[in-house]
Amino acid sequence: MSMKKFVLLLSALALSFAPPMALAQETTPAETPATETAAPAEETPAADAAAPAEAEKPTAEAPAPAEAAAPAAEAAPAALDSGHNAWQMTSTALVLFMTLPGLALFYGGLVRRKNVLSVMAQCLGCACMITPLWWLCGYSLSFSGGNAFIGDMGNALLKGIDVNKTGAGSALISDGIWVIFQLTFAIITPALIVGAIAERMKFSSVMLFILVWMFAVYFPFAHMVWGGTGFMCGPLNKLASIKAIDFAGGTVVHMTSGWSALVLCLILGKRIGFGREQMTPHSMVLCMVGTGMLWVGWYGFNAGSALAADGIAVTAFVTTTLAAATAGLVWALAEWVLRGKPSVLGFCSGIVAGLVVITPAAGFVGFTSSIIMGVFAGAVCFAACAYLKKALGYDDALDTFGVHGVGGTMGAILTGVFADPKVNPLLGEGGMNLMPGLVMEQIKAVGLTIVWSVVATAIIAYAIKFTLGLRPTQEVEQSGLDLAEHGEGGYEH
């Protein structure tokens, strides 16, 4: 089976990145504990380092590690700032809005009429399942202490989260809103995978896959990239093995979901009738509405990742806008030139691609860089969806891989290329001094993310395939998942 071969090939390719990682991993055990146990005041990472450069807010983009922030708080108790806190609540609402109903509409419009509710149910299922999970242990495994790869159970049941304290996320916003802000990221990431496997996977299997995947991929990555002791958290962890940067989730969100989506859709197989039947979007109108909501919500995602209503947030706001629009324009123009017509789906896809690509870079790059990244986003993701998919023949139903996988990977690397300490002093010598060799660190982070996502997804997917099974019966698939799996139709008959 060519599909099987493709997965093997991919795993091989993925593993070729592994050696340096393995090395890196070996070295950490020795170093990482040190961070946790000792962490002397003068080594407190981001919090102090960035302070002189940007007096009002210690961390420029990511959480001050809990253990680091605590002593600092004692010395000079950081007060909840109403403005920063207001922005963080707004941002959190905006990121939830991206999934419900943004992504549900974007994806829902692209499937066939008979499957629209199944996609929406999967988005709702993500929100409703992951939220209590986050309370139970998800947040804790992602952000509470732990080693370089995963947190511990210190904040299980959100124990120890005090709304009147700050420092878990940044020194100026409530720890409580930080928890929910991060939750909204944990909700949308697996929901993105839904796009690749749409129209042909059992609801029970989707939910089970996501449940396991959160432990196997999401929590570790949230911890590794944004945790104070994380393996590749350049901005906060002086001892990080990979000193990479990721402003709002290029690796954590888009790459993990994009690459997992590819693998899962390969293992799952193509939709019945793929390449033979019409599988046109049943409502480009819904898709366009979802795009608008995604764009608007993304301001919470990117500018909210500044964890303050400050200059860095504004930088993220500006670069997000410029990249999204530019990529939308480029994609539509590419269609116009190469296919004769600029389509609404082209504009929408380009906009989302631009948003994906700028995500890891949003608070690290300058305005003009974001325009250039937008051009890349539009052009490369267009090519991935229009040519690469055709050439390789996998059935990534709604192009999760083409947009989030390819775009996320490209964005992570370009972030290394365009990152600018003048834009974000945390990168510079006054901060964490991350500039030297940054591109290589980004590539390492990209490699680790691909390997991990591909391998973990393959294992989970095969495990479910041989137990619960992945696909519904042919009859169910042909008559549509909405009726068969949810007992409802999207529209009155």
Partner 1 sequence: MKKVEAIIKPFKLEDVKEALHEVGFEGMTVTEVKGFGRQKGHTEIYRGSEYTVDFLPKVKIEVVVATERVEAALNAIVKAAKTGKIGDGKVFVSPVESAVRIRTSEKDEAAI
Residues in contact with partner 1 by the rule CB under 8 A: 276-281, 335, 339, 341, 343, 345-346, 349, 382, 385-387, 389-390, 399, 402, 478-479, 483, 487-489, 493
Burial class (CB in 10 A: 0-12, 13-18, 19+), 220: buried
In the complex with a second copy, which residue's Cβ is closer, 45 or 300? 300
Phi, psi values for residue 443, rounded to 5°: -65, -40
Token pair 């049941």 is at which residue? 157
| 318 contact, one of a second copy, partner 1, none, CB 5-8 Å limit per kind | a second copy
C-alpha 361/C-alpha 75 separation (Å) is 33
In the complex with a second copy, which residue's Cβ is closer, 330 or 432? 330
| 349 contact, one of partner 1, a second copy, none, CB 5-8 Å limit per kind | partner 1
In the complex with a second copy, which residue's Cβ is closer, 276 or 341? 341
Q: Give the nearest distance from C-beta 333 to partner 1 in angstroms.
A: 15
Of residues 345, 297, 292, the one with CA closest to residue 317: 297
Residues in contact with 359: Cβ distance below 8 Å, sequence separation at least 6, in sequence order: 247, 248, 249, 250, 253, 254, 301, 302, 408, 411
In the complex with a second copy, which residue's Cβ is closer, 255 or 345? 345
In the complex with partner 1, which residue's Cβ is closer, 71 or 489? 489
Q: Give the nearest distance from C-beta 139 to partner 1 in angstroms.
A: 32
| 147 contact, one of a second copy, partner 1, none, CB 5-8 Å limit per kind | none
In the complex with a second copy, which residue's Cβ is closer, 138 or 220? 138
Q: Give the nearest distance from C-beta 335 to a second copy in angstroms.
A: 8
Q: Which two tokens stand for residue 41?
A: 């005041």
| 372 contact, one of a second copy, partner 1, none, CB 5-8 Å limit per kind | none
Q: Give the nearest distance from C-beta 192 to partner 1 in angstroms.
A: 16
Nearest-5° angle of CA 324, CA 328, CA 331?
135
Q: What is the DSSP letter of 271?
A: P
Of residues 437, 436, 434, 453, the one with CA closest to residue 62: 434
| 154 contact, one of partner 1, a second copy, none, CB 5-8 Å limit per kind | none
Q: How many CA atoms lie within 13 A of 284 on its CB side?
A: 9
Q: Give the nearest distance from C-beta 160 to a second copy in angstroms.
A: 11
